[in-house]
Amino acid sequence: MIDSVANSSTQGLRTVIDSYLRYLQVERNASDLTIKSYGEDLDALAEYLEESFALEPSPGEVTTLDLRGYVSAVSEAGYSSSTVARRLASMRSFFKFAQRQQIVEKNPAKPLRNPRKSQKLPHFLTSDEIGKLLNAPPRSSSAGIRDRAMLETTYSAGLRVSELVGINENDLDLHDGLVRVRGKGRKERLAPLGSYALVALEKWLDIRQLSPKSEQLKQRPVFLNKFGNRITTRSVGRMLEKYLKESGLDLRTSPHTLRHSFATHLLDAGADIRSVQELLGHKSLVTTQIYTHLSTANLKGVYELAHPRAKA
C-alpha cells in the first residue's frame, strides 16, 4: 500500500490529487488513459475550487455545496450529461480515497446525484409526409395492396411493428373498426382503426392467399409474405425503406416512426395525453410525455413564425 497522506488541514488539494493518481497507477494498475482522464477531471475541479476559495483549499475544506456549485457550472458551460456524470464519478472516487486515507471525515461528493440523461426526441413525419408515404404503394399489385394495408394500419392504430405482424384474423373487427393488439409483456389492448385503414384492410383481405401451413393455423395471420406465411418485422422494415426512397422521404424513418407520428399528430390536434397513453399501450404516463415535448416544440415553432412580436 502506498504511504498514507498525512491527515493535515494544510495538505493542499492538488497534492492529494497527485497521491490519488499514483494510487491508481501503483495499487489499481489503471491504464494510462484512465489516469489521464481522472487527472484532467480533477485538475478542472481544483481550478474551479481555487477560484472559488481564492486559494488552494485542502480536501477537508471542500463541502457538498462547493461541489454542487462546480457541477452546476459544468452543466451551464454546455457540457453533456455524460460528461457531467463522468466528472461526478471522478470526484466520488477521489474523495472516497481521501476518506480512506483519513484526510476527510466524510465524502462530500457522495450525496450528489448524476444528471438525468437528456432524452432524444423521437423522429416523426409531418401529416403531409405521412400522406406521401401511405400513397406510395401501387394499387395494381397484390404486394402494393398489402403494403398499403400495413402502413395504414400501423399509422392508424399507432402500432409497434411487432404488434402489426402479430395481428391475426380473429383480432380484427372491421364492422366496429377495432383491432386487438398484443403489446409488450403480453398486454392486450383494443385499438381503433380509421376509415382509410379499414378500406385498405378490406382490399387486402379480399385477395390474400394463405399458404397451406397458415390455413391450418388456429390463429391465422393477417399480413403475409410472398409464400403465404406470416410476414416478419425485418421484411416490414425493408418494405418501408423501399417506399421512403421512392417518395424522397427521410431515410432515418423506421416502422416505429409511424407510431411516433401517430402520437405526435394526436397531441398536436388536441388529444389529451392520458388517451394517447391508452392508445399507445404505455404502462407509465412518463413514457408518453416525451411526445408532449415534440408537440410543444412544434407549437413554439408555429408561434415564432406566426406571431408578429415573437421575435425582435
pLDDT grade, residue 73 (50/70/90)? confident
What is residue 6's predicted lDDT score, i.e. its pLDDT? 43
Question: Is the alpha carbon torsion for 101, 103, 105, 111 positive or negative?
Answer: negative
| CATH for 13-100 (1.10.12, 3.40.1130, 1.10.150, 1.10.10) | 1.10.150
Instruction: Give residue 8's pLDDT.
Output: 45
Show me where the domains of the chain are located: 13-100, 128-255
pLDDT digits (tens, 9 = 90+) for 20-62: 999 999 999 999 999 999 999 999 999 999 888 878 899 999 9
- Residue that has been written with the C-alpha cell 421512392 in this structure: 246
| Catalytic residue ranges | 160, 184, 256, 259, 282, 291
What is the reported pLDDT for 10?
60
Report the predicted TM-score, pTM, of the whole model to 2 decimal places. Answer: 0.61
pLDDT in tens, 223-254: 999 999 999 999 999 999 999 999 999 998 99
Domains 13-100 and 128-255 share a fold: no
pLDDT for the residue 195: 95
Distances in Å between the Cα of 72 and the Cα atoms of 9, 53, 87, 113, 142 are: 27, 17, 12, 12, 59
CB atoms within 10 A of CB 82: 12
pLDDT digits (tens, 9 = 90+) for 85-111: 999 999 999 999 999 999 999 999 999
- Assign domain 128-255 to its CATH superfamily: Intergrase catalytic core (1.10.443.10)
CA angle 38, 41, 43 (to 5 degrees): 105
Higher-confidence position of 224 and 286: 224
Q: How far apart are CA 104 and CA 94, in angstroms?
A: 11
Distance of CA 132 to the CA centre of its chain: 26
